[in-house]
Amino acid sequence: MFRTLKLLTYHELLRIKRDRVFWSFAGVALLLLFMTPIVANLSMRQPAQTGFTLSYSLVHLFLLVLTVFLGTQALSRAIERRTLIPVLTLPFSRSQYLLGAYLALAIVILVCALCLDSISLMTSMWLAQFSPIDAGLSVKAMLVAYAMGLTKYLLLLAWALFFSVFSTSFFLPVFGTLGVYIAGSATYQIVEYLLSNPAEYSQGFILLVKVLLYILPNFHAFDFQVYAAYGLAVPWMDVIWALGYGLTYSTVILYLATFCFMRREL
Amino acid sequence: MSTETPIVCEHLSKSFRSKKFKRVQALDDVSFHVLQGTVCGFLGPNGAGKSTTIKILTHQIRPQKGVAKLMGLGVSAPESRRRLGYLPENPSFHDTLTGREILNFAGSCHGIAKNALPLAVIQVLARLGLAHAADRPVRGYSKGMVQRLGLAHALIHDPDLLILDEPSSGLDPLGRALVRDIIREEKLRGKTVFFSTHVVSDVEQVCDHVLIVDQGRVKADAPLIDLQRQADEGHYQVLVRDPDGKTREELVYASALHAVLKKAEQCREVVESVRPQESALERVFLRLVETKKTDINM
Ligand SMILES: Nc1ncnc2c1ncn2[C@@H]1O[C@H](COP(=O)(O)OP(=O)(O)OP(=O)(O)O)[C@@H](O)[C@H]1O
Ligand SMILES: [Mg+2]
C-alpha cells in the first residue's frame, strides 16, 4: 500500500519536474519576489510591513495559480490524452492513484511555498533592519501566516482534483476551482455584513449561514496575515481550529473525489 | 501459475449513450471463457465490441449486466491485474517521460525487486527493438515505437495472462512478425494470450482458439481447426505453364482442383503454384458477419 503510494507520488513528481509551464510559473514568481524590496522601499513609512504584505500576497497568487494549474492538469489532461489508461490498469486501485496524485501535488506546492516563503521572510527581515518603526514584525506570527496559507491551498487542491475527476476539458476544473476560491474568500465579508445586526435574524438562520460559510469553504479561517504584519499575539486556538478544519475538509473532498473517480469511465 | 481460468465473461451487456435518449448497444449478453495456456484470437469488424469487452476486463468501464473475472477474481479487485499484461488500443504515455522511466514505473508497480528492475527493463526493451530509444522522451517516438513501448509495458513483469488490443496496429511487417513471434513464445512458456485483431491471417498463424463477435454478440467461439472445417468451398488460384512456355492463370473451386491438375498433367503443362484465394477462416468470418448485415437491413 505505502510502496504503491510512494511509486505513484514519485511518478507524478517526475512528470511535474519535466513540465515547462510549471518552471516558467516558478521563474516569474521568483523574479517578482526579488523585486518586492525595491517596491517596498518606495513606501517610506513602513518598508518591512509593506514588503511582507506584498511578498505574502505575491506568494499566494503564485500558489493559487499553481494549485489550479497542477490540480486541474493532473487528471483531466491525463484522461483526455489517455495517458491514464496504462497507469490505471496496473494492479492498484483508483483511490490509491488519486491519493498518490494528491500527495505529489501537495509536495510540489509545499516545496514551492517553502522556497518562496523563506525568500519573503528574509527580505522582510532585511527590510526591517533599516526601519525601527517596523520592529513589530513578528517572525513567529509570520511563520504561522505562511503555514496557514499553505493549508488553504492544500484544501483548494482537493477541490481542484474533485473537479478534475469529472471532466476531460480544462474548463470545468479551472473555473470550478477558481469559483470555490472566490466564494471561499468573499463569503466571510458577506456573512459579516449580513450578521452585523444579529437581532434581526433568528438563531436558526444565523446557524445555517455559519454552517454554509464553512461548507463553501471559509478561507478567512486561514488568514493570519494581520497578526504577522502588526506583531499581534497569535491566537493559537484559532490556528488549531483552522488546521483541524482544513484537514477534515480536504479529507472529505478527497473522499468524494475518490467516490466519483471509482465510477468514472475512462 | 494459478489453476484458475484466466478469463471468464458471463452475460456481459454494455450500452453507451450516443445522442440524447439514444443508446448504442456495444455488448449484448456476451459470455466466453479463455482457458489456461491457450492463444485466443478475438475477431470482429469495426465497432463489434472488442475494445469494449477488453475495457471491461481491465476495469476501465463497467458493464450494465454480467460478471467479468480475471484469474478467478472479479475485475474490480486490483489484484486481478497482478499477473496481467495489458496493451490498450493505440496506447499513449506521458510524453515527457522516457521509455525507460515508464517501464521502471510499471515494473515496480508490478512488484519487480529494485535490483532486478534495470535488467528486466533492458531485456524487454531489447526484445521489442527499442533499446536505442530507451532514454529518449516518448514525445519523440514514432507511432510504431509507441506501440512497441506499449507491448514492452505489457510484458515487463513476465505476466501469466496477456490481453492485447490490436497488438500489430501501426507496426511495420517486421513488427508484425515480431508480435506473432512473441505470442508464440509466450504460448510455449505456458502463458495465456487473448488478443483482438482484424487480421485474419494473424489469427490463423498463432491462435488455437477463435472468438468472433459482431454487433456486440458472440458469433463463434471454437477451436481454430473446428472453424476452418466449417468453411464452405473456397477458390484456388492455379498457375500453369504450357509446353510453349506461356503461363496461364486459372481460378477453380476446391472440388474441381483435382480434375484441373490432372488435365494439366495430361497436356504436359507444368503447374507452377496452387494458392488458396482466401483462407478458410476468412470465409467463415465473412459468412458469419455478412448474414448479420442482411438482418439489419430488414
Ligand atoms: N465511449 C463510448 N461512447 C459511445 N459509444 C461508444 C463508446 N465506446 C464504444 N462505443 C460504441 O460501442 C461499439 C463498440 O465499440 P468498440 O470500440 O468496442 O469496437 P471495436 O470492436 O473495438 O472496433 P474496432 O475494431 O474499430 O477497434 C461501437 O458502436 C462504438 O461506437
Ligand atoms: Mg477496438
The C-alpha angle with vertex B218 and arms to B1 and B233, in degrees rounded to 5, equals: 105
Confidence category of residue B298, pLDDT binned at 50, 70, 90: very low
pLDDT at A138: 76
Question: Which chain B residue has the Cα nearest residue A13?
Answer: B97
Say whether pLDDT at B1 is over 60: no
Give me the residue label for grid cell 469553504.
A217
How far is residue A89's CA from residue A189's CA, in Å, rounded to a whole number?
47
| Cβ atoms within 10 Å, residue A31 | 9
How far is residue B186's CA from residue B37's CA, in Å, rounded to a whole number?
9
Yes or no: say if B90 and B169 are a contact pair by the CB < 8 Å rule: yes
- Report residue B95 as a C-alpha cell: 510524453
B178 vs A40 pLDDT, higher one: B178
Q: Answer yes or no: is the C-beta of B55 below 6 A from any ligand 1 atom.
A: no
- CA distances to A90, B86, B132, B139, B234 from B168, in Å: 22, 14, 21, 21, 27
Q: Which of B62, B81, B97 sits opposite A90 (nearest CB)?
A: B81
Say whether pLDDT at B77 is over 90: yes
Yes or no: say if A89 and A35 are a contact pair by the CB < 8 Å rule: no
Task: Report how many Cβ contacts below 8 Å link chain A to chain B.
Answer: 68
| Mean pLDDT estimate for chain A | 85
**CB within 8 Å: B81 and A11:** no
Interface test with A, best of B109, B112, B139, B156 (most A CBs within 10 A): B109
Q: Which domain holds residue A228?
A: 2-262
pLDDT at B2: 54
How far is residue B256's CA from residue A81's CA, in Å, rounded to a whole number?
55
pLDDT at A209: 78
Q: Is B90 on the interface with A (CB under 8 A)?
A: yes
pLDDT at B255: 81
Yes or no: say if B88 and B165 are a contact pair by the CB < 8 Å rule: yes
Mean pLDDT check: name the lowest of A191-200, B29-38, B79-88: A191-200
Say whether pLDDT at B292 is over 60: no
| Cβ atoms within 10 Å, residue B95 | 15
Could you give the count of Cα atoms lying within 13 Å of A141 in the half-sphere of its Cβ?
A: 21
Q: Answer yes or no: is the C-beta of B50 below 6 A from any ligand 1 atom.
A: yes
Q: Are strands B84-87 and B161-165 parallel, antiparallel or unpaired?
A: parallel
Residue ranges near ligand 2 (ion) with Cβ within 5 Å: B 50-51, 89
pLDDT at A44: 65
Confidence category of residue A153, pLDDT binned at 50, 70, 90: very high
Q: Is B82 on the interface with A (CB under 8 A)?
A: yes
Helices (H), B71-192: 99-109, 117-127, 143-155, 173-188
- Report residue B242 as a C-alpha cell: 504450357
Say whether pLDDT at A69 is over 50: yes
Total domain count, chain A: 1
**CB within 8 Å: A19 and B96:** yes
At A47, is the secondary structure helix, strand, or coil?
Answer: helix
Across residues B144-172, what is the average pLDDT? Answer: 95
Write down the ipTM of this complex: 0.84
How far is residue B93's CA from residue B250's CA, in Å, rounded to a whole number?
51
In one-letter notation, the amino acid at residue B284 is V
The C-alpha angle with vertex B292 and arms to B286 and B197, in degrees rounded to 5, equals: 45
Interface test with B, best of A9, A85, A95 (most B CBs within 10 A): A85
Q: Which of A11, A78, A88 sits opposite B105 (nearest CB)?
A: A11
Q: Answer yes or no: is the C-beta of B169 below 6 A from any ligand 1 atom.
A: no
The closest alpha carbon to A72, from A80, A83, A62, belongs to: A80
Question: Which chain B residue has the Cα nearest residue A84?
Answer: B93
Candidate from B16, B43, B56 with most ligand 1 atoms within 8 A of CB, to mutate = B16
Q: Is B209 on the interface with A (CB under 8 A)?
A: no
Q: What residues pair up with B235 in beta bridges, in sequence order?
A: B253
DSSP letters for A134-193: GGG--HHHHHHHHHHHHHHHHHHHHHHHHHHHH-SSSHHHHHHHHHHHHHHHHHHHHHHH
Q: Measure in Å the smallest separation between the Cα of B48 and chain A Cα atoms.
A: 19
Confidence category of residue A136, pLDDT binned at 50, 70, 90: low
Confidence category of residue B91, pLDDT binned at 50, 70, 90: very high
**CB within 8 Å: B92 and A86:** yes
**CB within 8 Å: B61 and A265:** yes
Question: Which chain B residue has the Cα nearest residue A20?
Answer: B96
**CB within 8 Å: A90 and B58:** no
A87 vs B261 pLDDT, higher one: A87
Interface test with A, best of B102, B105, B141 (most A CBs within 10 A): B105
Question: Helices (H), strands (E): how many in chain A?
Answer: 10, 0
Q: CA torsion A166→A167→A171→A177, rounded to 10°?
A: 30
Say whether pLDDT at A5 is over 60: yes
Q: Is B44 on the interface with A (CB under 8 A)?
A: no
- In this prediction the pTM is 0.86
Across residues A239-264, what is the average pLDDT? Answer: 92
Confidence category of residue B297, pLDDT binned at 50, 70, 90: very low
Please give the biggest Cα pair distance in chain A.
62
Q: Answer yes or no: is the C-beta of B253 below 6 A from any ligand 1 atom.
A: no
Ligand 1, residue B213: give the atom nearest the CA. 21
Mapped to the 3 state alphabet, what secondary structure does A74-117 carry? HHHHHHHCCCHHHHHCCCCCHHHHHHHHHHHHHHHHHHHHHHHH
Confidence category of residue B179, pLDDT binned at 50, 70, 90: very high
Q: Is B94 on the interface with A (CB under 8 A)?
A: yes
pLDDT at A135: 59
Question: Which residues does chain B have within 8 Å of residue A23's beta carbon, measured at their own beta carbons?
Answer: none
Residues whose CB is less than 8 angstroms from the CB of residue A14 and which lie 6 or more positions away in sequence, other chains included: B97, B101
Q: Answer yes or no: is the C-beta of B49 below 6 A from any ligand 1 atom.
A: yes
Say whether pLDDT at B295 is over 70: no
- Give per-residue pLDDT as tens, A34-54: 887 777 777 666 777 788 888
